[in-house]
Amino acid sequence: MQIIKTVAEARTWRAAKPRVALVPTMGNLHAGHLSLVAAARKIADHVVVSIFVNPLQFGPNEDLANYPRTFEADVAALEHAGVDAVFAPGVEEMYPAGGASATTVHVAGITEMLCGTSRPGHFDGVATVVTKLFNILTPDSALFGEKDYQQLAVVRRMAADLALPVVVEGGPTVREADGLAYSSRNAYLTPDERRRAVALSAAIDDVCARLAAGQQDFRSLEARGWAQLSDAGFDPDYFDIRDTDLAPATRQTTAFRVLAAGRLGRTRLIDNKGISRD
């Protein structure tokens, strides 16, 4: 497995490879990332995983400095998973003009709701770095976890709007035994918070079951989910029932996405699930 640190090396590695799949990550890899790698191996001849903690997508009071960095363990896991190359540039390689980028990518509308409301600028940072990774590695396909459902929707919309020559694929959320979605940020939870964190997926499951049973009062279902998070000690950010394009659900909606986010102590957790009914 080749470890690539520069844009020039990345371009050399990429040249003359027939089908390349990219799994973009910020490292601190877990079972969710590794499931994307396994899916990538099925659709491409060569798999490259990027590891880059992107400063552009962190707000001033967010966890950039403390974000877990576990490069050696990540490389060992990727080698074991059969990855062909790891692209792990430094900040100065990705943003040579300083810690930012004068040119950014903004996907209007879809970024101005849900996580975009409490994390202004976050999705511009994601869209910008993903565009840059696509330009550097020119993958045929790129895989993103459905756990970050809004991020996946933003990248899909960006790729469609800008006619980017890459197929964007989503991979299912991988969960721990009690239902908590794998996330690098789970590492911040104290043992007590970790026990209570299960309320996030449980509240979403509860609302999904009620939607499946035909309940239509979306506002009271959202309030119910919100209350379940509060009761478990979360400071909820949102609990929303949307359609699969993230528009608010209506009585005509048959395929729902239930999305929630909240803080448990100092840790912000997000999760979502889909439910369809005839």
Point out which residues bind ligand PAF (CB under 6 A).
Answer: 24-26, 54, 57, 126, 129-130, 148, 151
- Residue 198, helix vs strand vs coil: helix
CA distance 249 to 229: 21
For the CA atoms of 93, 98, 103, 104, what is the dihedral angle to 10 degrees? 80
Do residues 35 and 9 lie in contact, with contact meaning Cβ atoms separated by under 8 Å?
A: no
| DSSP labels, 45-72 | SEEEEEE---GGGS-TTSSTTTS---HH
The CA R_g of the chain, rounded to the nearest whole Å, is 19
CA distance 48 to 24: 8
CA distance 25 to 75: 12
Q: What is the residue type of 158?
A: M
Q: Which is nearer to ligand PAF, 167 or 202 (CB)?
A: 167
Q: Which is nearer to ligand PAF, 50 or 253 (CB)?
A: 50
In the residue annotation, 106 being an active-site residue is answered as no
CB-count burial class (<10 Å; 0-12, 13-18, 19+) for 129:
buried
Taking alpha carbons only, the member of 255, 257, 197, 195 closest to residue 222 is 257
The distance of closest approach from Cβ of residue 278 to ligand PAF in the complex, given in angstroms and rounded to an integer, is: 33
Q: Which is nearer to ligand PAF, 25 or 35 (CB)?
A: 25
The distance of closest approach from Cβ of residue 90 to ligand PAF in the complex, given in angstroms and rounded to an integer, is: 15
Alpha carbons within 13 angstroms on the beta-carbon side of residue 39 total 20
Closest CB to ligand PAF: residue number: 24
Q: Which is nearer to ligand PAF, 150 or 228 (CB)?
A: 150
Q: Which is nearer to ligand PAF, 86 or 130 (CB)?
A: 130
Catalytic residue among 30, 33, 46, 122: 33
The distance of closest approach from Cβ of residue 216 to ligand PAF in the complex, given in angstroms and rounded to an integer, is: 33
- What is the distance in angstroms between the CA of the first residue and the CA of the last residue of the chain? 47
Compute the C-alpha angle 4/42/170, nearest 5°. 85
The distance of closest approach from Cβ of residue 91 to ligand PAF in the complex, given in angstroms and rounded to an integer, is: 12
Q: Which is nearer to ligand PAF, 68 or 265 (CB)?
A: 68
The distance of closest approach from Cβ of residue 228 to ligand PAF in the complex, given in angstroms and rounded to an integer, is: 26
The distance of closest approach from Cβ of residue 117 to ligand PAF in the complex, given in angstroms and rounded to an integer, is: 17
Active site residues: 33
